[in-house]
């Protein structure tokens, strides 16, 4: 219907650059003694809500700081909205909005003053700045808080001010680090409703880091980070389907003994996860019936469920989400 | 430096075209004149961020009453008490009383306390998270340094001027003897200008001490073992004299030239400043010190570092 001009190679380069909001290629990062990221690759398309899911200490905050231009890139390449983070840092900074886990607002200033200073830092002055501030405080339900000291606000309201700050200069890409930290379920719901609206109405690409499964479920696509490696990438549905039909979780008085018996009688290799056994397979309900019939006294509890993102994490890493956090913490 | 910036600007302008998305419909609510990546993204330039960051320092300072009282009250108490205590045993150059000798010294002390304590806010900003928001803003890092330093300088000069105006009045209530401060309407502008120069230099010094620090405890330690002696050995508190190592330390202290310059500007009595370095030497040393501190502060701030991400 439309005549499409033949693209020359220059236009193609340009087209690919326009296509991706975030491109991360071969990024590794070391703190002096610890490798925080190992050869991470992924891309986020424009208009997507992309989640970086992982246990605390998994590397997502390091990756976030690299994207936000706070940490110097050591190895690999990061392009945001077509601009190279290492060589065009200022161009990147003008185009991205950053919402930090611990809000970057000044508690000794009012909400309005915080936003006014932020506008100045982005070259916005006078009436234009006022108009944008009015718009954002209206949208975020902060209109009656403008003259209140930011330090006296609740966690949820501080987060809203932080989001307003990061949107003043109308970024094409919004980076949020653990945006739900310290929010009650109601505030978390509001936050996600707003992010979804931003995406739909304003085509803002959104990248969030999170360690919460239910938050990850709301993303269009997910990257799962564990111990600095990207272990899975896809939509939440794709990831769940990759695990296989059903998940059986079995509790037993002697899990090692039961593991051997299941292997010898059913030819099924269960996965030992903590004190429980896990089996992922199609038609799990039949196996469940057979197992219960075969080991009525050995099994103390058994459950059957569709795979969750946590199951994806276990399947890809061989350990539980919370164990990973505990390990890093110790 | 400005050359670098221009190059970066140029680079980003190319990026701007590449990233311009196809036009998107406005939000149905109408208020959303917002388009993602509409890239009117203007550069804030150098001075707008300086202005806004300096203004923030002032507003924060005056909202914390205790800081106002601390920065002004302590030096005044020093002046009154030391003045009263040492009054009898001090024979100043040109026959001035101790209160008169100590007067410019206290002004410098006020500048020093206010200037340097104002830079503690860098450590607080880092701890409270405000700094990371500034670091991801598209401002030249020089603006961050200048914003802090100008804010601290203005605060320091304001406080010192209050002292210079109020100090002599203390003699009216008997807390000080009648004194000849040397301050006149004619030299007021020069005095304020020179105080600003000292303030700028000391704030820059405070900045480069505070920038790498993660806690205010460390800053207080440096304050007492390094900065306080720096003031004590600047000719503010007692004259250099010509007694061995101490006079050498005083001569090597850049702040000595700040205090001496202030004395030279304030006094009309040549005998009172005999033996002090000339005004041009004082000015040169103070300006050189300020430039050196600024250069290090800017270099530190420009360095991309793991430290910046908390």
Joined tokens for residue A24:
């991360």
Nearest to B15 among A83, A109, A165 (CB): A83
In this model, does residue A120 exceed pLDDT 60? yes
Residue pair A57/A37 in contact by the 8 Å Cβ criterion: no
Measured CA to CA, the distance from residue B213 to residue B300 in angstroms comes to 12
For chain B, the average pLDDT equals 81
Nearest to B104 by CA among B263, B270, B277, B238: B263
pLDDT band at A14 (very low <50, low <70, confident <90, very high): low
Q: For A131, what's the count of Cα atoms within 13 Å in the CB-facing half-sphere? A: 11
Nearest to A201 among B27, B37, B60 (CB): B27
Task: List the Cα angle B60/B65/B70 in 5-degree steps.
Answer: 105
Helix pair A111-121, B47-63: axis angle to 10 deg: 160
Backbone φ/ψ region at B179: left (φ over 0), alpha (ψ -120 to 50), beta: beta
Of A1 and A238, the structure prediction assigns the larger pLDDT to A238
Q: With b meaning 16 or more CB within 10 Å and e meaning fewer, what string describes A219-252?
A: bebbbbbbbbbbbbeeebeebbeebeebbbbbeb
Nearest to A123 among B11, B37, B42 (CB): B42
| Lowest model confidence (mean pLDDT) among A47-61, A159-173, B85-99 | B85-99
Interface size between A and B, measured as CB pairs under 8 A:
170
Instruction: Calculate the alpha carbon distances from A133 to A155, A161, B45, B203 in Å.
Output: 20, 10, 21, 33
In this model, does residue B272 exceed pLDDT 60? yes
- In tens, the pLDDT along B276-297 reads 889 999 999 999 999 999 999 9
Measured CA to CA, the distance from residue A194 to residue A207 in angstroms comes to 14
Nearest to B171 by CA among B266, B72, B80, B71: B80
> What is the model's pLDDT at position B235?
85
B225 burial (CB, 10 Å; 0-12 / 13-18 / 19+) is: exposed
Measured CA to CA, the distance from residue A125 to residue A117 in angstroms comes to 10
- In tens, the pLDDT along A65-85 reads 999 999 999 999 999 999 999
Report residue A204 CA to chain centroid gap. Answer: 16
Helix pair A236-243, A309-317: axis angle to 10 deg: 60
Nearest to A70 among B31, B40, B309 (CB): B309
**Chain B residues whose beta carbon lies within 8 Å of the beta carbon of residue A95:** 19, 37, 39, 41
**Does B59 contact A109 at a Cβ distance shorter than 8 Å?**
yes
pTM, rounded to two decimals: 0.81
Measured CA to CA, the distance from residue B94 to residue A192 in angstroms comes to 75
Q: Does B10 contact chain A (CB < 8 Å)?
A: no
Measured CA to CA, the distance from residue A310 to residue A321 in angstroms comes to 7
B7 burial (CB, 10 Å; 0-12 / 13-18 / 19+) is: exposed
Joined tokens for residue B251:
């001569």
pLDDT band at A18 (very low <50, low <70, confident <90, very high): low
**Chain A residues whose beta carbon lies within 8 Å of the beta carbon of residue B37:** 81, 95, 170-173, 203
Determine the residue among B22, B28, B37 to mutate to test chain A binding: the one whose Cβ has the most chain A Cβ atoms within 10 Å.
B37
Q: Does the interface ipTM go beyond 0.95?
A: no
In this model, does residue B22 exceed pLDDT 70? no
> What is the model's pLDDT at position A327?
52
* Number of neighbours of residue B221 by Cβ within 10 angstroms: 12
């Amino acid at each position: 219907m439309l005549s499409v001009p033949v693209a020359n190679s220059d236009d193609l380069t340009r087209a690919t650059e326009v296509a991706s909001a975030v491109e991360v290629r071969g990024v590794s990062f070391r703190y002096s003694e610890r490798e925080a990221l190992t050869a991470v690759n992924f891309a986020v398309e424009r208009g997507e809500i992309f989640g970086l899911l992982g246990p605390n200490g998994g590397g997502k905050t390091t990756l976030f700081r690299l994207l936000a231009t706070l940490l110097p890139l050591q190895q690999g390449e990061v392009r945001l909205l077509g601009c190279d983070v290492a060589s065009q840092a200022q161009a990147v900074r003008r185009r991205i909005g950053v919402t930090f886990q611990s809000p970057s607002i000044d508690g000794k200033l009012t909400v309005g003053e915080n936003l006014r200073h932020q506008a100045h830092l982005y070259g916005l002055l006078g009436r234009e700045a006022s108009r944008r501030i009015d718009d954002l405080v209206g949208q975020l339900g902060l209109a009656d808080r403008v003259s209140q000291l930011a330090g006296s606000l609740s966690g949820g309201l501080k987060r809203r001010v932080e989001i307003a700050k990061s949107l003043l200069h109308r970024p094409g890409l919004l980076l949020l680090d653990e945006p739900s930290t310290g929010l009650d379920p109601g505030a978390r719901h509001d936050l996600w409703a707003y992010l979804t609206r931003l995406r739909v109405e304003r085509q803002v690409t959104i990248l969030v880091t999170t360690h919460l499964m239910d938050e990850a479920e709301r993303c269009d696509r997910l990257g799962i980070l564990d111990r600095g490696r990207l272990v899975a990438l896809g939509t939440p549905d794709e990831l769940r389907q990759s695990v296989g039909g059903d998940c059986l979780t079995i509790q037993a008085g002697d899990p090692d003994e039961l593991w051997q018996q299941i292997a010898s009688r059913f030819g099924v290799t269960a996965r030992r996860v903590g004190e429980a056994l896990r089996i992922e397979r199609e038609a799990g309900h039949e196996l469940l019936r057979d197992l219960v019939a075969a080991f009525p006294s050995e099994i103390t509890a058994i459950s059957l469920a569709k795979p969750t993102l946590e199951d994806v994490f276990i399947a890809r890493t061989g350990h539980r989400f919370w164990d990973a956090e505990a390990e890093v913490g110790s | 430096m400005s050359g670098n910036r221009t190059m970066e600007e140029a680079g980003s302008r190319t990026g701007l075209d590449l990233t311009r998305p196809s036009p998107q419909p406005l939000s149905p609510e109408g208020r959303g004149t917002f388009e993602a990546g509409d890239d009117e993204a203007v550069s804030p330039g150098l001075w707008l961020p300086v202005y806004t960051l300096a203004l923030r320092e002032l507003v924060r300072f005056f909202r914390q009453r205790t800081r106002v009282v601390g920065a002004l009250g302590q030096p005044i108490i020093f002046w009154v008490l030391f003045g009263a205590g040492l009054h009898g045993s001090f024979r100043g150059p040109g026959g001035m009383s101790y209160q008169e000798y100590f007067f410019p010294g206290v002004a410098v002390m006020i500048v020093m306390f206010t200037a340097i304590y104002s830079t503690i806010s860098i450590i607080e900003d880092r701890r409270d998270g405000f700094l990371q928001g500034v670091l991801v803003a598209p401002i030249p890092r020089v603006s961050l340094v200048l914003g802090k330093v100008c804010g601290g300088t203005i605060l320091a000069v304001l406080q010192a001027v209050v002292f210079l105006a109020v100090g002599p009045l203390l003699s009216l209530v008997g807390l000080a003897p009648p004194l000849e401060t040397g301050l006149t309407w004619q030299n007021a502008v020069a005095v304020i200008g020179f105080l600003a120069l000292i303030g700028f230099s000391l704030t820059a010094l405070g900045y480069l001490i505070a920038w790498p620090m993660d806690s205010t405890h460390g800053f207080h330690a440096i304050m007492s073992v390094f900065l306080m002696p720096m003031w004590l050995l600047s000719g503010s508190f007692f004259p250099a004299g010509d007694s061995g190592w101490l006079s050498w330390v005083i001569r090597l202290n850049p702040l000595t030239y700040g205090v001496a310059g202030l004395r030279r500007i304030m006094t009309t009595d040549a005998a009172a400043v005999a033996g002090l370095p000339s005004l041009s030497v004082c000015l040169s040393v103070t300006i050189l010190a300020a430039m050196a501190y600024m250069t290090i502060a800017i270099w530190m701030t420009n360095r991309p570092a793991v430290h910046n991400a908390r």
